[in-house]
């Protein structure tokens, strides 16, 4: 196994820069530059290479089995100038047996050495990319290993059910003292309830990770673009009195109550002879239908809406600044009702986010669906009471393999290069 090194902190000028070294020669490599400190005790050392002082740095050593990668590791906490980092990296590259790490190689070694499972690695990637409080909390929850703990508990029940079924196969020519079907069916029913509950929360978890979409829809000149600008706090969309000004979907990404939200300003919904406007209206309708939440901006309470609102959608009156009635309305021009509207968006999306489960990637959701399908097939065979036990055992093995693949224990080699390519070199 090679010993690798890389800059683990961001590039550019900083107060501190961290260089990470991992592999069987990590400690010996550091010894080329300074006296080694005690394990897991930071010590100030002068880094000397070929008679030249490179920097004065904090040096940390970690033993194999007690580091992020599971290998003998070291960290050099340098002064964060570009020149210092470049000189130290150049010196490390001159040490025999060391090479620059590839993207995500430190984390990949953590997976290979059993320090993290694949779900934790995906949680770590999300934590690095987190932009909102909800994304941070969700990523930390997955990184903590709670999904792996649940999968292990499910695996125990699956192993028990499979063992009972296998017993009936092994002793097919003998009298099995008890009927195992009731216990196997009870185990499968319990597992199905837990796995389905996790699947139910998958969409909300994915939306926290990827962001919710909120579409503003209404007739031309309803004030949609002005409202979008007010919500975004900047002039993201062109506004005018000319109907049909907005021809395409305009997107603005923002943080609402700790959630990542993309606001969509759609073309005014109306029949038009203008071919370009027709395309804009069609795109707006399509995006509005797919959005997580829609804000219908009306000119009057009895206005007929082209798109039917769903139960949780917001239907509000616009242009409060020129209304003479006392009804609740909003105005992007003066800001009247905008705070209330943001609060309503936050409340509705927060309610959905509260149901989020631990499945944060489509890959995980597909694996869970495969596990559920295997269990459903096994239970159906047991209920029929005529299926061969070998078929029931095969269904249980499908479920077990799906859960193991989700955690990165089998059949994931083709995924690893893609996953780790998103990591920086020093991670």
Question: pLDDT by residue (tens digit) across 291-301?
Answer: 999 998 887 77
- Per DSSP, helices labelled H in 177-298 are 181-200, 202-210, 224-232, 275-290
Q: Is the pLDDT of residue 76 over 60?
A: yes
Predicted pLDDT at 242: 41
Q: For strands 43-49 and 52-62, give the pairing.
A: antiparallel
Give the mean pLDDT of 325-334.
77
Instruction: Pick the range with the lowest mean pLDDT from 162-171, 221-230, 242-251, 385-394.
Output: 242-251
Annotated binding residue at 223?
yes
CATH of residue 244's domain is 3.40.50.300
Are both 127 and 195 inside the same structural domain?
Answer: yes
Is residue 35 assigned to a domain? Answer: yes
Q: Is the pLDDT of residue 276 over 50?
A: yes
CATH of residue 105's domain is 3.30.1360.120
CATH of residue 166's domain is 1.20.120.430
Q: What share of the chain is helix, strand, coil (3-state, %, to 5)?
A: 45, 15, 35
Is residue 206 assigned to a domain? Answer: no
Annotated binding residue at 322?
no
Handedness of CA 236, 242, 246, 247 (dihedral sign): negative
Are both 34 and 99 inside the same structural domain?
Answer: yes
Are both 402 and 336 inside the same structural domain?
Answer: no
Are both 130 and 47 inside the same structural domain?
Answer: no
Half-sphere exposure of 402 (CA within 13 A, CB side): 22
Paired tokens of 199: 């699947």
Residue 48, CA distances (Å) to 7, 22, 35, 58 in order: 19, 20, 10, 13
Annotated binding residue at 379?
no
| pLDDT higher at 298 or 44 | 44
Give the mean pLDDT of 257-274.
75
pLDDT in tens, 8-23: 998 889 999 999 999 9
Are both 150 and 277 inside the same structural domain?
Answer: no
Is residue 222 assigned to a domain? Answer: yes
Q: Which residues, 6+ apart, have CB-to-CB distance to 393 below 8 Å?
A: 162, 165, 166, 169
Annotated binding residue at 243?
yes
Is residue 33 assigned to a domain? Answer: yes
3-state secondary structure of 342: helix
Is residue 417 assigned to a domain? Answer: no
Are both 7 and 62 inside the same structural domain?
Answer: yes
Annotated binding residue at 427?
yes
Domain end, chosen from 91, 116, 141, is at: 116
Q: Which residues, 6+ apart, have CB-to-CB distance to 337 below 8 Å?
A: 316, 320, 328, 329, 330, 331
Q: Is the pLDDT of residue 274 over 70?
A: no
Predicted pLDDT at 141: 92
- Per DSSP, helices labelled H in 233-337 are 275-290
pLDDT in tens, 373-391: 999 999 999 888 777 888 9
Q: What's the gap between Cα 289 and its chain centre?
A: 24
Instruction: Pick the range with the lowest mean pLDDT from 59-63, 316-320, 344-348.
Output: 316-320
Is residue 208 assigned to a domain? Answer: no
Is residue 314 assigned to a domain? Answer: yes
* Unique residue bearing structure tokens 């309830």: 193
Annotated binding residue at 201?
no
User: Phi then psi for 214, rounded to 5 degrees?
Assistant: -120, 120
Are both 223 and 264 inside the same structural domain?
Answer: yes
Q: Is the pLDDT of residue 115 over 90?
A: yes
Contact yes or no for 298/216 (Cβ under 8 A): no
Domain boundaries, position 186: 123-201+359-408
Annotated binding residue at 240?
yes
Q: For strands 293-298 and 212-218, give the pairing.
A: parallel
Q: Which residues, 6+ apart, have CB-to-CB distance to 137 below 8 Å?
A: none
Domain end, chosen from 71, 87, 116, is at: 116
177-181, 264-268, 369-373, range with greatest mean pLDDT: 369-373
Q: Is the pLDDT of residue 427 over 80?
A: no
Are both 101 and 143 inside the same structural domain?
Answer: no
Predicted pLDDT at 245: 43
Q: Is the pLDDT of residue 241 over 50?
A: no
Q: Is the pLDDT of residue 37 over 90?
A: yes
Annotated binding residue at 222?
yes
pLDDT in tens, 153-193: 999 999 889 888 887 776 555 554 457 788 999 999 999 99
Are both 319 and 338 inside the same structural domain?
Answer: yes
Q: Is the pLDDT of residue 246 over 60?
A: no
Contact yes or no for 127/208 (Cβ under 8 A): no
| pLDDT higher at 164 or 105 | 105
Are both 227 and 345 inside the same structural domain?
Answer: yes
Annotated binding residue at 225?
yes
Instruction: Pick the range with the lowest mean pLDDT from 73-77, 249-253, 338-342.
Output: 249-253
Annotated binding residue at 246?
yes
Annotated binding residue at 289?
no
Q: How many CB atoms lie within 10 A of CB 385?
A: 7
Pseudo-torsion of CA 383, 388, 393, 394, nearest 10°?
-110
Q: Is the pLDDT of residue 238 over 50?
A: no
Are both 241 and 298 inside the same structural domain?
Answer: yes
Annotated binding residue at 168?
no
Is residue 422 assigned to a domain? Answer: no
| pLDDT higher at 368 or 273 | 368
∠231-233-237 over CA atoms, to 5°? 80
∠70-75-81 over CA atoms, to 5°? 145
Are both 233 and 298 inside the same structural domain?
Answer: yes
Q: How many CB atoms lie within 10 A of CB 110?
A: 23
Predicted pLDDT at 331: 82
Q: Is the pLDDT of residue 319 over 90?
A: no
Provide the domain count of the chain.
3
Annotated binding residue at 268?
yes
Domain end, chosen from 86, 116, 146, is at: 116
């Amino acid at each position: 196994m090679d010993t690798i090194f890389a800059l683990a902190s961001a590039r550019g000028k900083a107060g501190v820069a961290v260089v990470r070294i991992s592999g069987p020669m990590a400690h010996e490599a550091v010894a080329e530059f300074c006296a080694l400190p005690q394990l897991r005790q930071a010590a100030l050392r002068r880094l000397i290479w070929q008679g030249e002082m490179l920097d004065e740095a904090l040096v940390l050593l970690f033993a194999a089995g007690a580091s992020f990668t599971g290998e003998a590791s070291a960290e050099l906490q340098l002064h964060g100038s570009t020149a210092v980092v470049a000189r130290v990296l150049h010196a490390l590259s001159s040490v025999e047996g060391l090479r620059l790490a590839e993207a995500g190689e430190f984390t990949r070694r953590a997976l290979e050495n059993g320090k993290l499972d694949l779900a934790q690695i995906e949680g770590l990637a999300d934590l690095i990319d987190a932009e909102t409080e909800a994304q941070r909390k969700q990523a930390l929850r997955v990184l903590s290993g709670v999904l792996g703990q649940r999968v292990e508990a499910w695996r125990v029940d699956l192993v028990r059910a499979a063992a009972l079924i296998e017993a009936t196969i092994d002793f097919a020519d003998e009298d099995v003292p008890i009927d195992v079907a009731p216990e196997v069916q009870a185990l499968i029913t319990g597992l199905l309830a837990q796995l389905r509950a996790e699947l139910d929360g998958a969409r909300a978890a994915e939306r926290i990770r990827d962001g919710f979409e909120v579409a503003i829809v209404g007739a031309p000149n309803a004030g949609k673009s002005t409202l979008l600008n007010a919500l975004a706090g900047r002039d993201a969309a062109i506004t005018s009195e000319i109907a049909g000004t907005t021809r395409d979907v305009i997107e603005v990404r923002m943080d609402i109550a700790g959630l990542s939200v993309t606001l969509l300003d759609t073309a005014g919904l109306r029949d038009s002879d203008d071919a370009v406007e027709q395309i804009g209206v069609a795109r707006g309708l399509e995006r509005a239908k797919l959005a997580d939440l829609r804000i219908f901006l009306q000119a009057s309470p009895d206005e007929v809406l082209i798109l039917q609102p769903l139960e949780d959608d917001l239907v509000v009156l616009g242009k409060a600044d020129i209304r003479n009635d006392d009804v609740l309305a909003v105005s992007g021009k003066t800001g009247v009702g905008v705070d209330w509207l943001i609060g309503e968006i936050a409340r509705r999306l927060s309610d959905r986010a509260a149901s989020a489960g631990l499945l944060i990637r489509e890959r995980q959701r597909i694996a869970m669906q495969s596990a559920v399908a295997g269990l459903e097939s096994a239970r159906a065979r047991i209920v029929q009471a005529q299926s061969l036990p070998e078929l029931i055992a095969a269904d249980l093995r499908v479920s077990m393999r799906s859960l193991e693949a989700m955690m990165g224990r089998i059949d994931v080699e083709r995924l690893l290069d893609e996953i780790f390519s998103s990591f920086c070199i020093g991670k």
